[in-house]
Structure 1
Amino acid sequence: MILRNSPIHWIIGLITILIIIYFKIKLTSLENENKLLVETITQIQSQIKNHGLKNNKDLLLSSSNIDDTIVIYNRVPKTGSTSFVGVVYDTCKKNKFHTLHVNITNNMHTLTLPNQLKFVNNITQWNSMKPAFYHGHFRFLNFNKFGVKQTPLYINLLRKPIDRFVSYYYFLRYGDNFRPYLIRKKAGDKKTFDDCVKAGQSDCDPSNMWLQIPFLCGHDPKCWEVGNKWALNEAKKNLEKYYLLVGVTEEMDDFIATLQAVLPRFFKGTYDYFLHSNKSHLRQTTQKLIPLEETILKIRNSTVWKMENELYEFALAHFHAIKKKIINPSIQDLNQNFMYEKIRPK
């Protein structure tokens, strides 16, 4: 039994007081450390906000590397490319990049091997033009095979094969409202697309639809072989591996909106400009008749249409998957971030 006023009682009491004082000091220290941590985080967030950086992705985009970027749009004829390029030309000065048209002799869609090498070296070493947006009617060119350090960001637009085919048929006869003074190759031929198909003429033969596949397939001779299954698979592979984005003509507004979100260095403000300017339908075929259902069914029975449509549907599904996460993102996608950790050596 310990007496209330005994020495042992006082020792126990003193030890208890010391323990209480120790934990109070420790708690105060932790609170101060937490307060300092919060203040530090707040300061960092403030600095990030002042520099317009929201997360690690923005930190990457803010680097000088983005000013070295090259975008290539190897535009497929009659897919609305003139309208899209019109927007790029009107906004490139404001967004501080150069836009250049690649014009190949005699409207050829392929480059000879010496010109391929020359073109690759030209645009990767032409630093005074960077950042740059190149466009033209030429087939995909794989920069990796030429041993250069820089590879471009490819983009493109595809169109429903029959719609593109019919539009081109009438374009060759009547021209368009973009350059109405030009006399086209089939000017004066008033035969409708329906009558052409019914008569089995060569200029409306389904083999002439073989265009979007070789444009994405590239310069390999097999890409030019009409109905070549390898060419279709190569076009799909290139779309997934080398193209930043491939949209569709029918959803050009979403294509531009997606580009603006993915690559604001080039496309900041282009979506609003596209919607409120006259660029959305810059080039329209002067006269075009919708083909009869029986004509459409005849075209759809062809192997070429089936293959071209397979590529179009593949591109459409791919574009929708990307667009969904950017234009209509889930909460999880919207709040997605990334960070670097476990960096060695320290």
Structure 2
Amino acid sequence: NVAYDLCKKNGFNVLHLNVTGNLHVMSIADQARFVYNVTHWEAKKPGLYHGHIAFIDFDKFGSSQKPVYINILRKPLDRLVSYYYFLRFGDNYRPHLVRRKHGDKVTFDECVKKKQSDCNPDNMWLQIPFLCGHAPECWEIGNVWALNQAKHNLATRYLLVGVTEQLPEFIAMLEATFPSFFRGAYQHFKYSKKAHLRRTNQKMEPNNDTIREIQQSKVWKMEMELYDFAVKHFEYLKKKFGKKDGDIVDKGQQFMYEKIGPKS
């Protein structure tokens, strides 16, 4: 993780948020506690909090301090396939850990043919609710309001939402925007052996029939709509940066102040 490698050098704290039971939502009481902790834990400021938790609206709790949100999305089918094989074979991060579905040799293609639960397209309903938040509607599979709210939050509440296909660009843009946290992040990522830290073991790409089957589902279409929205938004922001030797770079300050009054 780039943040853990840079936190000491750049003088910030990194904290992983672990929710009991690996849940993606908190009770309203726990949300309030979390908001209080983040805003009052002076010893851990500045801090970068990360975890698999849905968007939390600090405004709802009357907080005058608000976090800067960032996120990164992945193509929904790629995510589903990777998770399917991850449950069976793990990854290169902790290769000796026995996963929940260890020993199951059924391929993703076979799973789709048999219409088994692990490859159900409904399992792709994940990135929409994460960006949507803690409202119950966010977690109703196929809810159109949830999709629209996720788009709204992405455009208005998140500083930057990247995509895994453009991870280097995402890191370069973060470094240019928040150098106090991410100074040196791009070069570290580019030349570090950790650039691809976690790879699912024995992952097999789905065949064309499987892809067509998944793409007929409502959930895939909705999650893909969010993903495409994120890509469009990311590309727009990326165009505002410069390029040097093919790398994203900050153009430097492109504004100035003039006609300042009153005159001395």
Counterpart AA for 1:293: N
The one of 181, 189, 194 aligned to 2:109: 194
Q: 2-side partners of 1:105 and 1:345: how far apart?
A: 60
Partner of 2:247: none
1:1-346 map, 5 Å = 86-328=1-243, 336-339=254-257, 341-343=259-261
**Structure 2 unmatched ranges of 5 or more:** 245-250
Residue-by-residue CA offset, 1:152-203 (whole Å, 9 max, x unaligned)? 0000000011111100110011111111122111111110000000011111
Counterpart AA for 1:188: G
Q: 2-side partners of 1:282 and 1:90: how far apart?
A: 13
Percent sequence identity is 57
Counterpart AA for 1:214: P
Q: 1-side partners of 2:163 and 2:237: how far apart?
A: 13
- What's the TM-score once normalised by structure 1's chain length? 0.72
Deviation at 1:344, TM superposition (A): 6.7
Q: What's the RMSD between the two structures over aligned residues?
A: 1.6
Please identify the structure whose Cα radius of gyration is greater.
1
Deviation at 1:286, TM superposition (A): 1.0
Any idea what SS the aligned residue of 2:194 has? coil
Counterpart AA for 1:263: F
Structure number having the greater helix percentage: 1
Counterpart AA for 1:307: M
Counterpart AA for 1:321: Y
Any idea what SS the aligned residue of 2:195 has? coil
Any idea what SS the aligned residue of 1:227 has? coil
Any idea what SS the aligned residue of 1:279 has? helix
Residue-by-residue CA offset, 1:209-248 (whole Å, 9 max, x unaligned)? 0000001000000000000000000000001111010000
Q: 2-side partners of 1:308 and 1:116: how far apart?
A: 26
Any idea what SS the aligned residue of 2:147 has? helix
Counterpart AA for 1:133: L
- What's the TM-score once normalised by structure 2's chain length? 0.94
Q: 2-side partners of 1:309 and 1:93: how far apart?
A: 38
Q: 2-side partners of 1:156 and 1:344: how far apart?
A: 43
Deviation at 1:338, TM superposition (A): 3.3
Q: 1:335 to 1:102 in 2, by over 3 A?
A: closer
Q: 1:267 to 1:292 in 2, by over 3 A?
A: same
Counterpart AA for 1:294: D
Contact 1:258 1:327 survives alignment (8 Å): no
Q: How many residues align?
A: 258
Partner of 1:47: none
Deviation at 1:327, TM superposition (A): 3.7
**Structure 1 unmatched ranges of 5 or more:** 1-85
Any idea what SS the aligned residue of 1:280 has? helix
Q: 1-side partners of 2:22 and 2:259: how far apart?
A: 52
Q: 2-side partners of 1:220 and 1:230: how far apart?
A: 11
Any idea what SS the aligned residue of 1:288 has? coil
Q: 2-side partners of 1:317 and 1:120: how far apart?
A: 31
Q: 2-side partners of 1:126 and 1:111: how far apart?
A: 19
